[in-house]
Structure 1
C-alpha cells in the first residue's frame, strides 16, 4: 500500500474549516510553526464529538490553532485551558483567540508546563498533549492527577516520523534523548495500571489513553 498516496486521498476528503481557522493554519505552515496534521485534526474532532468534554486542557499552545479547532467542536459551555512558554508565540496565540472571538472560552496560561500543571486543579475531561516531546514522561504524573476518571489523554507526535522503531544508535545523536524518552513514555502508557491506551499510526503518531474508573481497575 502506498501510504503517501493514501494520505493524500484521505486529506482530499476533508471539508474546509471556518475561514479564520484555515488562515491560522496557512500562516503557521508558512512560518514553520508545528501544528497538528490534517488526519490528526479529523481524529480530534471525532473524539470531541464522542467524549463531549466540558473541561479541556492543552499542553502546548503554539499559535493557538488546535485550541481554536477544539473550540469549534466542543460542547456549548465548555472551556479550554492551554499552556505555552515560548514568548514569541504567546502574543500571536492571544491575538488569534481574540480575532476568532474565542478569548472567553480559551484561557492561555504562560509559563513552563511542569510548573503550570502543578498549579492547576482538575479534573479535566480531555487533555491534549502537544508540547516538547522529550518532556512527555515528566508531565505524565501531573497530567494523570488532573485527568478525570473516564477522561481521555490524547498525546500527539509520538512516533517521530517512524524513527521510534529504530535502534537508538540508528537515529541522529541529537535525537537520541527524545527517542529514548518517547519509548519510555509509550511503554508507561501501555503498562500503567490506571490507563487503557491505544497507539495509532495516525499523522505522526497518536496515543489515546483513557483513565480507568476506580471500580473498573
Structure 2
C-alpha cells in the first residue's frame, strides 16, 4: 500500500523511478572503470564525472523516499529542505507529505539547470508546484536564506557538499527536527567525514544513527 495520498502521483513516480533505474548500469560501469584506474577522489567529483552525471536522475530508492515521507507525516512537517533535487522524484514524496499535513513548503536545491528544468516540469505535471520552492544554483548560495523553522531535511547530494549544506540549515532546525542523509554506510563513510565531524560536535546538539538501508541512511535528530 502506497504511503502517498494520491494514486495518480504514485503512478507518475513509478515511471520516473523506472527511468532512473534504467540509467544505473551505465553509471555503475562508468564509476567502476574510473575506480579501476584509481582516478577517483573521496573529496569530490572531477569535471569529467560532473559532466557524465549532468543528465542522470539518480533518484532516491523508493523505500528510502517512502521512509522520508512517513517521517514528514509523523513530524507534521510543513517546512522541509531537500538538498540535491535532481529531477525531483523524492521531492514529489516530500511535497505529498507536506500537503497531507495541511500545506507548507519544500525548499529544493539543484545545481544543474537542465535538471532543475526537468524537476519543475515534473512538479507542474504532478500538481504540487505550489508547494515547492526550487532554488537553482550553488547550495552555498541558495540556502543562505531559509525563512522559519525547519522540520525535516533530506540530503541526497555529493558527499563534499554535505557539511556546507548542514552548516547552513542547522541554525534553522527546530527541536526534534530530523535530517536524513543518503549513502552514509561503509563505502562512503570516509567521504562523509567532514559531515560527521559537524554532527558529532556536542555544541551542535545533534544525535545520529546509521540505519541499515542499502548503502546506509543517516538519521540525525536535533535534540
TM-score, normalisation: structure 2: 0.74
Match of 1:128 among 139, 148, 154: 154
TM-score, normalisation: structure 1: 0.76
* 1:128-155 superposed Cα distances (whole Å, 9 cap, x missing partner): 1111211112222212012222211111
* 1:67-95 superposed Cα distances (whole Å, 9 cap, x missing partner): 10112223121221101111121111000
- CA separation in 2, counterparts of 1:187 and 1:141? 11
Is residue 2:53 matched to residue 1:29?
no
- CA separation in 2, counterparts of 1:42 and 1:192? 30
* Conserved? CA contact 1:61–1:82, under 8 Å: yes
Is residue 2:210 matched to residue 1:186?
no
* 1:3-61 superposed Cα distances (whole Å, 9 cap, x missing partner): xxxxxxxxxx8788721111122223334421111331232132122111011111111
Q: Which residue of 2 aligns with 1:106?
A: 132
14-23 vs 149-158, which moves further: 14-23
* Conserved? CA contact 1:122–1:145, under 8 Å: no
RMSD: 2.2
43-52 vs 57-66, which moves further: 43-52
* Conserved? CA contact 1:147–1:211, under 8 Å: yes
Deviation at 1:66, TM superposition (A): 0.5
- CA separation in 2, counterparts of 1:38 and 1:186? 25
Q: Which residue of 2 aligns with 1:96?
A: 122
- CA separation in 1, counterparts of 2:16 and 2:117? 14
Deviation at 1:191, TM superposition (A): 4.1
The count of residues paired between Structure 1 and Structure 2 equals 184
- CA separation in 1, counterparts of 2:202 and 2:165? 15
